[in-house]
Amino acid sequence: MKNIIISGLSAALIATGLPVVFAQTTTAVPVVALPAPVAAQGQDAAQQREALRQQIQAQIDALRAQTREQDQAAATATQAEVRGLREQAQAAATATRAEMQNVNEQMRQTMQAEATATPELRAASRLQYQQERSAILDQMKQEHETFLQNVQAARQTLQQKRASEQADLKARLANIKDQAKAATVQQLDQRFTDINQNITSQWVNTLAILSDIVTKISSRADTLESNGADVSAVRTAVTAAQTAIDAARTGVTAQTAKTYPMNVTTDTTLKSVVSQVRDTLNTDLKATRDLLQAAHNMVAAAAQALNAVPGASQPEATTTPATTTQ
């Protein structure tokens, strides 16, 4: 009945031309507006994050600048050390050349005196000459033994420094978030030390070979000189070679004792620190290798000077003990 009345009322209203509006029972969704203080707090938090980011970036930039300054200072110190070694080698070469020139002049005068001396005086002079040359050879051998002792002492110093540096690196890496990268850095730290030790050990053996060659050249020159040959050029070349070998020994000893600590601070500086340590190692090894190359060249020059002496290519005469028949 109610529906019929409503329908009839609707029809009557429509018939009158009046607008008909039906109510809908829909529920409106309320819109919640943030209070003004909450929105301001969000902006403040964003500003704080940006300020913190800028502060961290400034600290990273400062650490990088400090690391670059330290690397430049280390490079400068290495260059100064190499220059010092070269200056010492030049000073030693000058002193050694003067000494050898004096010895050679005395030998030349002795040879001239032998030409007019009696057989007895000639034999005594020759004996003195042989003793002087033997003393020089013994000195060369002693210098190499001293070099080996210095290298051994440098290796002991290295072990002590490495123990302290490894403990320091372990403590630094404990603060690194990415422990996989930290483990890699620790492996590279040991790898760089192994590379330096392996190369310097090879150089010690190389210097032993070069020293032995110089000794043989000097002995061969003695024999040729005793037969009347002029070996003054060989003496000069041998002196220069021995001086270059001494400079290389000093460089190898210093390089053996060097360590390359990794002063890491944060995750972002790991790569740059490793690269800087690697570059420093390469620079030091190149400087020492140059000293060995110079020594090799001087030994080669001494060998060429010996080969230029008439009769140098002939084998030395050997004496065989006399046999008796019974």
d(CA 35, CA 13): 48
**R_g (Cα) of the chain, nearest Å:** 43
pLDDT surpasses 50 at 125: yes
Token digits of residue 95 = 């002193």
pLDDT surpasses 90 at 289: yes
Phi/psi zone of residue 57: left (φ > 0), alpha (ψ -120 to 50 degrees), beta?
Answer: alpha
d(CA 72, CA 74): 5
d(CA 58, CA 71): 20
Q: Is the model's pTM score more than 0.75?
A: no
d(CA 97, CA 246): 13
Segment 62-85 shows an average pLDDT of: 65
d(CA 213, CA 284): 27
pLDDT digits 0-9 by tens, 197-238: 999 999 999 999 999 999 899 888 888 888 888 888 999 999
Q: How many helices (H) does the chain have, and how many strands (E)?
A: 6, 0
pLDDT digits 0-9 by tens, 36-60: 555 566 677 777 778 877 877 777 7
Segment 138-143 shows an average pLDDT of: 74
Specify the pLDDT at position 149: 85
- How far is C-alpha 10 from the geometric centre of its chain's CA atoms? 102
Segment 68-97 shows an average pLDDT of: 63
Please state, in angstroms and as integers, the Cα–Cα distance from residue 259 to each residue in 167, 181, 290, following that order: 14, 21, 20
pLDDT surpasses 60 at 33: no
Please state, in angstroms and as integers, the Cα–Cα distance from residue 109 to each residue in 36, 128, 130, 283, following that order: 109, 13, 15, 48
d(CA 162, CA 68): 23
* Residues 121 and 223 sit within 8 Å (Cβ to Cβ): no
Specify the pLDDT at position 56: 76
pLDDT surpasses 60 at 117: no
Specify the pLDDT at position 106: 60
Angle between helices 36-116 and 270-307 (to 10 degrees): 10
* Residue 242 identity: Q
d(CA 214, CA 144): 12
* Residues 267 and 181 sit within 8 Å (Cβ to Cβ): yes
Token digits of residue 146 = 């001293």
* Residues 298 and 241 sit within 8 Å (Cβ to Cβ): yes
* Residues 169 and 186 sit within 8 Å (Cβ to Cβ): yes
Segment 301-326 shows an average pLDDT of: 67
Instruction: Delimit the domains of the chain by residue range.
Output: 75-307
Specify the pLDDT at position 101: 62
Phi and psi at 311, nearest 5°, equal: 90, -5
* Residues 320 and 259 sit within 8 Å (Cβ to Cβ): no
Q: How much of the chain, in percent, has pLDDT values that exceed 90?
A: 25
d(CA 65, CA 28): 62
Token digits of residue 141 = 């051998």
Segment 80-88 shows an average pLDDT of: 64
pLDDT digits 0-9 by tens, 229-278: 888 899 999 999 999 999 999 999 999 989 898 888 888 888 888 999 99
